[in-house]
Chains A and B, each alone.
Chain A
Amino acid sequence: MIVKDVVCPFCGCLCDDIEVEVEGDRVVSVCNACELGTTKLMGEKRMKGPILRDGDGWREITYDEAIRYAADMLLSAERPLLYGWSGTHGEAQCVGVHMAELVRGVIDNTSSVCHGPSILAIQEVGHPGCTLGVVKNRADLVIYWGSNPIDAHPRHLSRYTYYADGFFLENAFRDRKVIVVDIRKTETANIADEFVQIKPGGDYAVLSALRALVRGKGETIPRTVSGVTREQLIRVADLCKGAKFGAVYFGLGLTMTPGKYKNIRNAIELVSELSRHTKFTISAMRGHYNVYGSNEVNTWMTGYPFGIDYSRGIAFYNPGETTAVDILARKECDAALIVGSDPAAHFPRRCLDHLADIPVVQLDPYPNATTAFCNVQIPVAVTGIDAEGTAYRMDGVPIRTRKVLSTDYPSDEEILSRMYALMQEERER
């Protein structure tokens, strides 16, 4: 059976033009998706059922036992951490927030280690963004700053920027210019019309130099700024000012480097400066397919986008204190529920030392690095493959992912709802 208009549950592009061929309970071929999406949609090696760590071994347990274990773990913890959430659908994220409030825990999502700093900057100076469709149809200049879409968001260029047709561009491929700013000469840099190679840690200075140029203060610019020549800076500033509609897409090359959220703030202020000359917009290249959704769901339910601490009975937010890496590194939490992410692969080692010391329950379809630290792992259906639910694209557009095949695996929402119901019952006693 061929299923059309499938939504790919890999990266923040949430491509919704995928075709998959299904035979029984397996996807056997995938059309239109990139290599990342194809591999995920055809994914195998799923865990068969819930497992429990039993001394130096593992034993299989039932879903009922696993859910009871997780509920008891969270209820008996003094400071539980509920982390992950970007690899699941919005409905499951909602249950997660309710659970965190009930047990007065800390709920954080993967944006604290990807675009959390971008959100901090947006909280300071706002977000002059737009949807991907606007960029596709109007932008004649696209800047990728500290991001490498060919590797991380392979269809971003073909669906929305460099290789895409644009309604208001006569010959989009010829008329649209792409600038890449990076410290590495990446694959994306190789196809750029202008590649600006900066020295590591120099983003803030280069952004400031461009702001000065756009303001007409060119005389203040030295001969080179963080390895970028004055001539190239002037050329880039002129390209930006001369564009009819410019779009900046920035990646973790800005959020993870020295300066962190101040880099993003400077980039947003450059865009604001450019908007005095022409139309300019800026957006983050979000990684997980629903990391934007975790920020949305957390914000509308708690007022804050990530790192929310309910220990006071009300939502409290202080990145650097209430974020997962800090809480684990300080050995502060006494239990962890991990949903739709793999902190053991992506957190610094000091965090894992603590994960090894506390009870951990993980909801994930596959064995991963965090499995080794789990007391219980509960395999779930994969959103976009055998579960449906709402995800938010990197530009904030909610898209309903589809279920393309049926399996016996329960969805994240189903498991979390059953867990939450048990916890409510226990608390009401």
Chain B
Amino acid sequence: MTYLMITGRTVNQGVTVENKTSPEYAEETSTCHMHEFDMLELGLDDRDAILVTGPCGAVVMRAVASREVEMGTVFVPYGPYANHIIDAGTHSTGMPDFKSHEVEIEPTDDEPKTVHKLMEDLGGLAYDR
């Protein structure tokens, strides 16, 4: 199924933003807020793992029911998980399309990676694991 993914600020993202290698930051920024009917269609319960595929890759997140989003739209707090699948094109403005990406979502048995693992997969080296 195809959804519009928007990203944005949350209090918990802000609280953990200076501690980005913590499990709390990983949990917050890997949470995909979905309409409960969309979750029903995909057979998902709260905190079930989902594979979110965007224009430049896929990443595992966890689905959580939210009353804030409409059907067909999902919301993910700013962070390395959403950015793992966001395209770097800026239409000559300097600003990527952080709030207008179409993504495919399907249930998965995989677990979301840690922030360290995400960075290491891209060629980084974790420091404070």
B43 within 8 A of A: no
Q: Is the CB of A319 within 8 A of B56?
A: no
- Asked if B47 lies at the interface with its beta carbon under 8 angstroms from chain A, I say no
B1 interface contact, C-beta 8 A: no
- Chain B residue nearest to A365 in the complex (CB): B18
With a CB–CB cut-off of 8 A, which chain B residues contact A117?
93-95
Interface size on B, residues (CB 8 A): 55
User: Which B-chain residue is minimally distant from A146 (CB atoms)?
Assistant: B99
Known: A35-B15, A117-B95, A252-B98. A345 touches B90 (CB 8 A): no
| A257 CA / B4 CA spacing, docked (Å) | 12
Note all chain A residues with C-beta closer than 8 A to B90: 320, 323, 325-326
Stretch at the interface among A13-21, A205-213, A369-377, A404-412: A369-377
Within 8 A of B (CB), among A287-323: 287, 306-307, 319-321, 323
Q: Which residue of A lies closest to B116 (CB)?
A: A372
Chain A, range 38-56, C-beta contacts under 8 Å to B: 39-40, 43, 45, 51, 53, 56
Q: Interface majority SS on B: helix, strand, loop or mixed?
A: loop
Whether A349 touches B124, Cβ cut-off 8 Å, given contacts A320-B91, A325-B90, is no
Which residues does chain B contribute within 8 Å of A261, judged by CB atoms? 93
Return chain B residues, CB-CB under 8 Å to A345: 20, 29, 78-80, 83, 115
Give the Cβ gap from B20 to chain A, nearest Cβ, in Å. Answer: 5
Beta-carbon contact of B94 and A185 below 8 Å: no
Among residues 235 to 266 in chain A, which have CB atoms less than 8 Å away from a CB atom of chain B?
A: 252-253, 255-258, 260-261
Check A56/B125 contact, CB under 8 A, given A349-B56, A351-B88, A372-B116.
yes
User: CB-nearest residue of chain A relative to B99?
Assistant: A256
B1-20 interface bits toward A, Cβ cutoff 8 Å, 1 = contact, 0 = none:
00010111111001110111
Q: Which of B64-91 contact A (CB under 8 A)?
A: 67-70, 73, 75, 78-80, 83-91
Q: Say whether, besides A200-B6, A329-B88, A373-B123, A342 and B20 are in contact (CB < 8 Å).
A: yes
- Contacts A148-B9, A151-B11: A200 and B4 contacting too (C-beta < 8 A)? yes
| Given A58-B127, A253-B99, A257-B99, A349:B84 Cβ within 8 A | yes
How many residues of A are in contact with the other chain, CB < 8 A? 73
Given contacts A35-B11, A36-B15, A345-B80, contact A257 B122 (CB under 8 A): no
Q: For A154, what are the chain B residues with a Cβ–Cβ distance below 8 Å?
A: 11
Residues of B within 8 A of A (CB): 4, 6-11, 14-16, 18-21, 29, 56-57, 67-70, 73, 75, 78-80, 83-100, 115-116, 119-120, 122-128
* The 10 nearest A-B residue pairs measured at CB: A372-B124, A356-B123, A323-B94, A320-B92, A372-B119, A329-B88, A152-B9, A112-B94, A348-B88, A350-B88
Q: Could you jot down 22 A-B contacts, CB within 8 Å?
A: A10-B14, A35-B11, A112-B94, A150-B11, A154-B11, A184-B8, A184-B70, A185-B67, A185-B68, A256-B7, A256-B100, A257-B100, A326-B88, A348-B56, A349-B57, A349-B85, A349-B86, A349-B122, A350-B87, A368-B21, A369-B21, A371-B127
